[in-house]
Copies of this chain bind each other. A is one copy, B any other.
Amino acid sequence: MRPDLLSRVLSLLPDGGTRPELRQFSEMLRDYPQRGGKGIRSELLLASAQAHGVAHDTDAWDQAQWLAAGLELFQNWVLIHDDIQDDSEERRGQPALHRLYGVPLAINVGDALHAYMWAAVHRAGVPGAMEEFLTMIHRTAEGQHLDLSWVEHREWKLREADYLEMVQLKTAHYTVIVPLRLGALAAGVQPASAFTNAGLALGSAFQIRDDVLNLLGDPLKYGKEIGGDLLEGKRTLIVLRWLAQAPAEQREVFLDQMRRDRAAKDPAVIAQIHRWLLDSGCVTAAQDYAAARAEEGLSLLSSALSGAPGQAAVQQILGAMRALATRDA
CB within 8 Å of B: which residues of A?
14, 17, 19, 21-22, 24-25, 78, 81, 84-86, 101-105, 107-112, 114-115, 118-119, 122, 130-131, 133-134, 137-138, 141-142, 144-146, 148-152, 165
Add 18 more A-B contacts to A84-B107, A115-B134 (CB < 8 A).
A22-B142, A22-B146, A25-B142, A25-B145, A25-B149, A78-B111, A81-B107, A81-B111, A85-B103, A103-B103, A104-B151, A104-B152, A105-B149, A108-B141, A111-B141, A112-B137, A114-B114, A115-B133
Most chain B beta-carbon contacts within 10 A, residue among A21, A101, A148: A21
Q: Roughly how many angstroms separate A185 CA and B165 CA in the complex, as a whole number?
A: 42
Distance from A164 Cβ to chain B, minimum over Cβ atoms (Å): 13
Whether A152 pairs with B114 at a CB distance below 8 angstroms is no
Given known A-B contacts A21-B145, A148-B105, A137 and B122 have beta carbons under 8 A apart: no
Distance from A135 Cβ to chain B, minimum over Cβ atoms (Å): 10
Distance from A145 Cβ to chain B, minimum over Cβ atoms (Å): 4
Whether B81 pairs with A149 at a CB distance below 8 angstroms is no
Whether A108 pairs with B81 at a CB distance below 8 angstroms is yes
Q: Roughly how many angstroms separate A19 CA and B149 CA in the complex, as a whole number?
A: 12
Distance from A268 Cβ to chain B, minimum over Cβ atoms (Å): 27
How many copies of this protein are present in the complex? Answer: 2
23 residue pairs from A and B, CB less than 8 Å apart: A14-B138, A17-B142, A19-B165, A21-B150, A81-B107, A81-B108, A81-B111, A84-B107, A85-B103, A85-B104, A101-B152, A102-B152, A105-B152, A110-B111, A111-B137, A112-B138, A114-B114, A115-B133, A115-B138, A115-B141, A118-B118, A118-B134, A122-B134
Given known A-B contacts A122-B130, A137-B115, A152-B101, A144 and B108 have beta carbons under 8 A apart: yes
Q: Roughly how many angstroms separate A133 CA and B111 CA in the complex, as a whole number?
A: 13
Q: Roughly how many angstroms separate A111 CA and B113 CA in the complex, as a whole number?
A: 11
Whether A148 pairs with B85 at a CB distance below 8 angstroms is no
Given known A-B contacts A104-B85, A122-B130, A134-B122, A149 and B111 have beta carbons under 8 A apart: no
Q: Roughly how many angstroms separate A110 CA and B81 CA in the complex, as a whole number?
A: 11
With a cutoff of 8 Å between Cβ atoms, the chain B residues found around residue A150 in the complex are: 21
Q: Roughly how many angstroms separate A115 CA and B121 CA in the complex, as a whole number?
A: 13
Q: Which residue of B has the minimal Cβ distance to A114?
A: B114
Distance from A125 Cβ to chain B, minimum over Cβ atoms (Å): 11
Whether A119 pairs with B142 at a CB distance below 8 angstroms is no
Whether B146 pairs with A21 at a CB distance below 8 angstroms is yes
Given known A-B contacts A25-B145, A145-B25, A149-B21, A107 and B85 have beta carbons under 8 A apart: yes
Q: Which residue of B has the minimal Cβ distance to A131?
A: B122
Pick from B21, B103, B111, B131: contact of A114, CB below 8 A: B111
